Amino acid sequence: IKPSIKNEPGFFVYHTDLKKDWQIVLLSNLITLTPGTVVLGVSDDRTKIYIHAIDFSTKEQEVESIKTSLEKIVREVGEI
């Protein structure tokens, strides 16, 4: 038996307009808790989050998922 893994690991930059430090930290933690992704750092101007994904072939799906679910949750928490 020969396993066949067809992952394409890679890095990508996620652009955010969150302003508060706690929001960026929370979003970064949520991204890291998502299977297959880990946050490597945040730009000095706090507009970019650097992410490594095990399957880079799904970058567009990852970005859309972060924007529509994780970042949305962080924004809603900030409104409470």
Is the residue at 1 inside a domain?
Answer: no
Question: Hey, which residues does 50 pair with through a beta bridge?
Answer: 13, 41
- Which residues have CB under 8 Å from 55's CB, separation 6+? 7, 8, 9, 36
pLDDT of residue 52: 94
Domain count, the chain: 1
**CATH number of the domain to which 40 belongs:** 3.30.70
pLDDT of residue 3: 77
**Structural domain boundaries enclosing 46:** 10-79
pLDDT of residue 2: 74
pTM of this structure: 0.86
Residue 13: count other Cβ atoms within 10 Å of its Cβ. Answer: 11
Look-up of token digits 């394409």: 8
**Digitized pLDDT (tens) for each residue of the chain, 80 residues in all:** 677 778 888 899 999 999 999 999 999 999 999 998 999 999 999 999 999 998 877 778 888 989 999 999 999 998 87
Is the residue at 16 inside a domain?
Answer: yes
